[in-house]
Amino acid sequence: MNTTSLLGDKPVNRIGFGAMQLAGPGVFGPPRDSDAARAVLRRAIELGVDHIDTAQYYGPDVVNDLIHETLYPYPEHLRLVTKVGGRRDEQGGWLPAQSPAELRTGVEDNLRSLQVERMDLVNLRLMDSAASGDLLAEQLGMLEDLRREGKLDLIGISEAGADAVRRALELVDIAEVQNSYSVVNRSGEDVLELCMQREIAFVPYFPLGSAFTGGPAQLARDPVIAGVAQRNRITVTQVALAWLLSRYERMLLIPGTTSVAHLEENMAAADIELDERDLADLQNATQLGDPMASAHD
C-alpha cells in the first residue's frame, strides 16, 4: 500500500493529523493540558505528519495558537489546511458564517492566528448541504478571489452532498472533499465514488466514528471489527484506519488525539494491509451513522 498520495498537486503522507481535539471540552477554550497538546504536535512532525487540519474557530484561536507556538517556523513541507463557514458564540455554540464576507474574514483570521501569508488549502464548510446554487457560486467565488490574491493555494469543500460537489466542480478546481465517513458510517458512499471518478482527495472526518456514537469504544464493541483486529494482532482503531486507506488511493486521513501513544498507534496504520478476508468481513460491520456529524467537524 502506498503511504503517500496527493493533496491537489502536492504530495503528502496519507495519514495527517486532525487538530480539533487539542482545544478544551466541546472544542471550546484552552486544553486541559497545554504541554500534552504541544507534545502531540511535536511527535506528529517527528513521525512524518506533513498535513495538519485545523480551523480558527476551534477554541476559537486556541488550536491555531497551539500550532503556531509549537511548530513555528513551520517545517518546509508541512501543509496547513483549514476550513471556513462557521463561528462560535461566547458560550461555545456553533453558528454559521456562510456569507462571502464572512468567508473572507474566516480565511484572514486563520492567516492571522497561524501567522502565515497563505493557507495551503481552505475548505468551504457547508452548514446546509442543500444550499442554493447561487450562494454556493458566491461562496466559491470568494475563495477563488482569495486564491488569486495569494491568501490560499487550494480550495476544498466539506459536508457536501454529491450534487453540491458536482456544482462546485463546475465553478472552481476542488482539491479535496472532507465529509464524515468511516467503517461504521458509509452514508456518504456516493460522494466518495464521485471523488474516485474525478481523482479528488477524499478526507474523512470522524474516521473512527463520531464521539457522539461511541467512537473507538463503539468499534471495539463490534464483533466483526474486533475479530479482524484480533486476527491481525492490531487495534480496532488501526483496523478502521487501514480499512479507509484500502478504499481509495487518494484517501487522506486526519485522525485526531490528545495522546502521544494514540498518535503513534494511528500513524502505524499506514503500514497495515488488510487482506481480502478482512475486507469481506468488514462489509458486515454495524452501520450506526453519525447523527451529530452536521453539528460540527
Sketch the domain layout of the chain as residue ranges: 4-208+250-258
The strand pairing partners of 182, in sequence order, are: 185
Question: Do 16 and 178 meet the contact criterion of CB atoms below 8 Å apart?
Answer: no
Running along the chain, 297 residues long, what does each successive block of 10 average in pLDDT?
93 98 96 97 98 98 98 97 97 96 98 98 84 87 98 97 96 97 95 98 93 82 97 98 98 97 98 98 86 49
Q: Is 171 helix (H, G, I), strand (E, B) or coil?
A: helix
pLDDT at 290: 55
pLDDT for the residue numbered 294: 45
Cα(151)–Cα(143) distance, integer angstroms:
9
Residues 238-254, buried b or exposed e (16+ Cβ, 10 A)? Answer: bbbbbbbbbbbebbbbb
Q: How far apart, in whole angstroms, are the C-alpha atoms of residue 6 and residue 201?
A: 7
**pTM for the full predicted model:** 0.95
Is residue 117 within 8 A of residue 150, CB to CB? The reply is: yes
pLDDT value at residue 70? 98
Q: Which CATH number fits the domain 4-208+250-258, given the four candidates 3.40.50.300, 2.40.50.140, 3.40.50.11540, 3.20.20.100?
A: 3.20.20.100
pLDDT at 289: 66
The question of whether 205 is a catalytic residue gets the answer no
How many residues belong to the chain? Answer: 297
Determine the pLDDT at residue 288. Answer: 81
The pLDDT of residue 293: 47
* 119-125/94-96 β-pairing: unpaired
CA distances from 223 to 158, 215, 220, 229, 272 (A): 31, 15, 7, 10, 20
Helix-then-strand count for the chain, H and E:
11, 11
Residues linked to residue 157 through DSSP beta bridges, in sequence order: 124, 177
Of 57, 58, 181, 205, which is the active-site residue? 58
Per residue in 47-99, pLDDT tens? 999 999 999 999 999 999 999 999 999 999 999 999 999 999 999 999 999 99
At 66 the pLDDT is 98
Which grid cell is 279? 475486507
**At residue 162, what is the residue type?**
A
